[in-house]
Every structure is written in C-alpha cells, then in structure tokens.
Amino acid sequence: MVKLEEQKHKTQDKFIEKLPPSSKVYIPLSQHLGEACASLVSPNDAVLLGEKIASIQVHVSAPIHSSVSGKVLAIQEAPHPVLGRAKAIVIENNGQDKSPSHQVTKSPEDAEKITPEQIRNIVFEAGIVGMGGASFPTHIKLNPPKPVDTLIINGAECEPYLTGDYRLMVEKTKEIILGAELVARCLGVKNIYLAIEDNKPEAIKNFNYELRFTSYELRILKSQYPQGGEKQLIKNIVNKEVPSGKLPFELGVVVHNVATVYAIYEAVYLAKPLYERVVTVTGSCLSQPKNLLVRIGSPIKELIAYCGPLKEEPAKIIVGGPMMGIAQYTDEVPVIKSTTGIILMNEREARIQEEEFCIRCGACVRECPAGLMPCLINLAAEKEIWAQAKTYGVMDCIECGLCSYVCPANRNLVQSIKRAKLECAE
C-alpha cells in the first residue's frame, strides 16, 4: 500500500448540498453488476418520484426507480459512465416531486420489530446496490449462502479526492449506525467493525461518541491506498486472507460501504428507494468543489456547472476516484447508483504522458496489493494471449490502479488488465 498525495481538503469540510433536480433525467437500465433491468414504463407514461420504473430479469440485479416526478419522454441509447453507451429511460421533470402515497416512515420501535426477511425484501425493492463503486446488489450480500460471524462497515474512503462518505459519516452518524444494526440483524453477526482511515477526525469523534454503549469496534486505519479494498480491509481488521477465486463470506465476513448502509437506513426507516446519492465534485479546474446530493440520472455537466465556473479547461474528466475511476468522453453521462465522484483534472493532475517501453524496474510488481505481476499481464494482454493472462492471475486484480500510478514508463497497465479480465470472464 502507498501513501498518495491527497486532495480531500478541497471538499472535506463542505456540508452536503442538494443539487436542484434536473429538468430531464437519463436513468440507465444498467446500474449494477449483473444484467440490465427491463423497463416497466413506456413513452408518455406519467411517473412519480421513487416509483419503480424498471424491474430485474435475473437474480443478480436490482430494480430501478424514478428520481423525479414527470413524464417518460423516451427509452433510448444514451451516454453511460461505465459502459460508454447503454439504454436509458429519459424523464421530463414536472418539478412537483410527487411520491406514491403508500410510502410510510417507520419509528425506531417499528423498525426493531421487522424480521431479517422483511429487511432483505425492503432492500431489494429499494434497488440498493454497493455504493462504494462495486454496485453489487445488496440484498444478495444480506443473504450469504453460508453463516457469517463478522460484519465490517467500510468507511475507509481511501481514494485521494473523494469525501462523500466522510461527509455522510459526519452528518448522518446515527443513521449509519441504525442502518448497520439492520444489516447485522440480517446476517446474525456478533462481531461488528467500523473501519475509518485516520484522516477523518470528525467522523472518528462522532462514531466514538455514538458507539460508546454498543459492542461495535471502531478500527482506525492508516490512511494509505488501497486501504478500503475489501480484501485489504479483511486482512487488516480480522487478519484473514481471502484466497484467489473465493469471496469474503466463505471466511465468515461481509463488508458493506457506509453509503450503502445509509441507503439501507433510508429504505427501511423512510421508505425511500435509492434514487439519489452523495457525489464529490472536485478537481483543480473547479472554482467551488462540493459534495452534492444528486438525483440519479442527472447529467454530470449540471453538477459541474453548479460547482463552477471553471478556472481552466479540464484535461480529463473522471467519474469515480482518480485511481479507480473512468475517464469520460462526454459530460452528458448521467450520475448512476455507483457514482462516487466527478473529478475535473488539469494537465498536471491528469499526468497525460507518452507510453514508453517497460524498463523491467519491478515497481508495479512491488506495489500490487493483489500480489500480481502487472507488467507480464500487460504483455500477455497486448498480444491478446488471454489464457496466459489468466495463468498470471488477472482475475484477482482489484483494479486499484496502483501499477499504472507507479510505472515510470507510463504504461497503461490498468486499461490492458481490465480488458484482459473482460476477455477471460467471457
């Protein structure tokens, strides 16, 4: 793990602000790991805020809800921050934010009575997926095939520009604990850890206070990258190594991100489906970087305009963190459930440099947290020898981006490794 130059100071002390809802939202049918959803609406249909507009077709999936009330304009191909282009439901916002009338909030006493099965069902119906970027459907993680005894709530947020999870932990401490209790009830676990990096003092202070009468253990971790990776957290907190090809539940551990846990709280207590999320909008090109609460489907150009004006033209726009995020070809892409950040980088930050030949320095091998040899996988990928890439363990890559970051020859290692993973998965 390495200590990266951080840019969290730009937004870490900014309260979460609500972005005014867009006049038109583009809600992709694919926002999670697994197959795309099927639309339940057609052009000209009226929809309400929080209404289910797309349902699952296979088990590994999560339904999708409207983030505004208004009228469906079209179901069409549109820019997508992860897939390039994908089908989206386009909705014109009527500005009324009208919700279905059956949505009722729960008191803590009511919430205490609901069963694990009911919680899983609410989480499924609310369309919740892993919000730290992985976007795996949460209801599946709440029902592991084997009993588990340990829950880790991941508040590490190790990406060097992002502060959305930090602000949630500062501003919604009690709600995150209520959400964690629901998760713990579903899993039937005894050991509950909350993992936070030591660069988040206010969140640590709040949780220290709120957890004083509970059995939760607050674990303060060194701020280094990729501390928040699932496998790294499990190793650092319970000293267990997840073997190649295995999942954490097989070792009795489940990890959930703090934003996901907060969404679970909202679904159960407030009867609110996942139709908005906190996004860090930052980078040196912006005059007013912020943390925004944003409706799903809002084009990122609106977030950028809200945090502007631009101080300089961006050399690169990234959706996600600078290490694991994806560079975009257009600012028309919408915010989706897994969008943690939008970063507008200038030339210096973007480090756009010519790729050179590998000098066999070994830096990528030394830094890879998955114990891989990225230089060799890169060679195999360039020659399209996918079987060899698989032998080198490409499927264990966590796509942390460290190999590219440390490479003195500016090799595009992660891109080629991501491609090799896709090829090998097929």
> Cβ of residue 255: shortest distance to ligand SF4, in angstroms?
17
Please, how many CA atoms are within 13 Å of residue 91, restricted to the half-sphere of its CB?
34
Q: Examine residue 247 and tell whether it contacts ligand SF4 (CB under 6 A).
A: no
Q: Give the DSSP H or E segment for 316.
A: strand 316-319
Name which of 60 and 359 has its Cβ closer to ligand SF4: 359
Among 375, 380, 381, 420, which residue sits at the site for ligand SF4 (rule: CB under 6 A)?
375
Q: How far is CA 270 from CA 68, 240, 339, in A?
A: 17, 36, 22
> Cβ of residue 27: shortest distance to ligand SF4, in angstroms?
30
Distance in angstroms (rounded) separating the CA atoms of residues 233 and 394: 21
Phi, psi torsion values for 327, nearest 5 degrees: -70, 140
Residues 383 to 412 in contact with ligand SF4, rule: CB under 6 A: 397-403, 406-409, 411
Name which of 63 and 369 has its Cβ closer to ligand SF4: 369
> Cβ of residue 355: shortest distance to ligand SF4, in angstroms?
10
Distance in angstroms (rounded) separating the CA atoms of residues 169 and 102: 30
> Cβ of residue 319: shortest distance to ligand SF4, in angstroms?
18
Distance in angstroms (rounded) separating the CA atoms of residues 407 and 413: 8
Name which of 335 and 377 has its Cβ closer to ligand SF4: 377
Binding mask 323-362 for ligand SF4 (x = CB under 6 A): -----------------------------------xxxxx
Among 25, 364, 380, 420, which residue sits at the site for ligand SF4 (rule: CB under 6 A)?
364
Task: List, in order, residues 6 or more apart from 14 with CB less than 8 Å away.
Answer: 163, 167, 289, 290, 291
First to last CA, the chain: 30
> Cβ of residue 136: shortest distance to ligand SF4, in angstroms?
18
**Preceding peptide of 314 cis, ω within 30°:** no
Pair 278, 260: CB distance under 8 Å:
no
Among 374, 381, 392, 416, which residue sits at the site for ligand SF4 (rule: CB under 6 A)?
374
For ligand SF4 (CB under 6 A), the number of binding residues is 28
Name which of 19 and 413 has its Cβ closer to ligand SF4: 413
Among 370, 381, 389, 420, which residue sits at the site for ligand SF4 (rule: CB under 6 A)?
370
The token pair at 401 is 């981006």
Name which of 193 and 392 has its Cβ closer to ligand SF4: 392
Q: How far is CA 137 from CA 128, 188, 273, in A?
A: 6, 19, 14
Binding mask 136-175 for ligand SF4 (x = CB under 6 A): ----------------------------------------
For residue 205, give the amino acid letter. K
Q: Contact positions toward ligand SF4, by CB under 6 A?
A: 358-364, 368-370, 372, 374-375, 397-403, 406-409, 411, 413-414, 417
